[in-house]
A and B are shown apart, each in its own frame.
Chain A
Amino acid sequence: MRVALFVPCYIDQLYPRVAMATLDLLEQLGVDVDFPEAQTCCGQPMLNSGCDTDALPLAERFVEIFSGFDAVVCPSGSCVSMVKNHYHHLLHDNARYETLRTQVYELCEFLVDVLKVDALPVKFPYKVGLHSSCHGLRELRLASDSELNIPEFNKPKQLLALLEGVEFAELKRKDECCGFGGTFAVSEEAVSCTMGRDRIADHLQAGTQVLTAGDMSCLMHLAGLIKRDKQPIRVMHIAEILAGYEVPQ
């Protein structure tokens, strides 16, 4: 199986450790991974800002670059959802896209559904606070959300539970949005920060030592607040934890 690694633009530039962890993890699991270097950004910021015509060429590039692989894996639910669920606004009746959209996976989804990972040789003796990022949760259905009356499941948690020594922090609001929302974080700065601080307060009361999520963008926003407010919480992307990386000090 030829797998392409799709690294969101801001992870490439600001969080290389997350991308490296994803690569390491996949390789540890015996996957043959390629990183197509022509990739940049999926176009989500443009589409979310209403600028569909600026997003279109990026969607076309994406299809061009990633077609032909058996699977495309990405450590970001939000970017995956952009490709899977929102490109059809831009690319009408594009046969290559229709094939590609079935082959794009969020990292945890790929590990659980395709690789069917049921063991990971990692010790992680921390109380983990799992933030369910909204696009992964409600657009990719990586877990059941509290609004729906369906049987409970949670793919990221299922993977974390494989680690030795891991404990989970019990949140009061298990799947509330952190307030990042892309450009929302800037255009609605006040609400965005109130939401973020509320999430952090929930993690603090639950005793979270390491805060994790499948989306680095949510974590970037939360980490920004944690650092400003000097809160005693460490932040790691789920790929870093699953790959056995050290907790940053």
Chain B
Amino acid sequence: MKTMNEQRLAELENDLNAIRDEVLADLGERDARYIRRIVRLHRGLEIGGRVLMPFGFIPPVFIAATAALGLSKIIENMEIGHNVMHGQYDWMNDPSLHSQTYEWDTVCTSASWRRTHNYEHHTYTNVIGKDRDYGYAVLRLSDDVKWHPGHLFQFINYLMLSVLFQWGVGLHELESERLRRREITWKSKLPFLKEFFAKGGRQAFKDYVFFPLITFPVAPIVLAGNIGANLIRNLWSSTVIFCGHFTQDAETFTEQECENESKGHWYLRQLSGSSNFTGGKWVHLLSGHLSYQIEHHVFPDLPAHRYPEISGKVQAVCRKHGIHYNTGSFAHQYGTVLKRILAFSLPDRLRVRLPVQGLNQAT
């Protein structure tokens, strides 16, 4: 990470706080209208997808229904659920859009997500050993983790994680790696497991039992479409999230680096540990504006649709302080993610001989 003295860090903090204050002062009607419009879009797509699905014996209808349901899940998880749970719309005082009461349409419970994501990941972003989102305890993505032969197959693990992403996220709080190492007991995880099975059960019941059953003669079609919709959502959200922190230039940090850090230092870490990707309006909406991961990590509780508006200002602050603003096309950023997963599956002495730029040095 770029080093800055405390005075420069304080200046960075002030520059970013100024951007934040400006947005906060401007929040109002426009933001409320925006999120309500997105909620209507989600309801429309979900209802449309569910109604069309039983007619999926007509192939184009099957595709349309699956796509509508998949898109509805993506929008609900990314632009509504994730952002609402960050408290981006708490100021509206609307219980249906409040961070503490919102329950989203995925296996992970909102309470678990607020603990593992809002708290752990956003506080200890990319700190190896503390941010359990970094590699999700199944992937080796930096040489801070010692290589072992199992890592050779990590690309398969990656694919499995992506396919079953909502279940992986749901189980994140189980801390399976610490259970394996016997640092914690299964007994201490019982309350969490109870929550997990209740929510996971509800999600599975809805898509794999209830909706297929009530459309009995065409149940297999509805079941297939629902599986397809969940798969689309899982692959897309996993891909977006991997592009946010595991690209070529996204930095990692050690616990020592972050001890007693100032707010300015925390800002610097968010700026250098996150990465954006570019794209059209739809790409931003469907990624919940996590295409602006840098802005999101610096200001997790500002309404996400504001990120494109403030991105120029954040970039100007980065230029002023000589901080790399990690962005690129979706294809480029995702390409470097895949390279990283592959490169770190190899032992270090092989990896450093690879002609993969940026991954040869310790990150």
Q: Do A and B come from one complex?
A: no
Using a CB–CB cutoff of 8 Å, the interface residues on chain A facing chain B are none
Using a CB–CB cutoff of 8 Å, the interface residues on chain B facing chain A are none
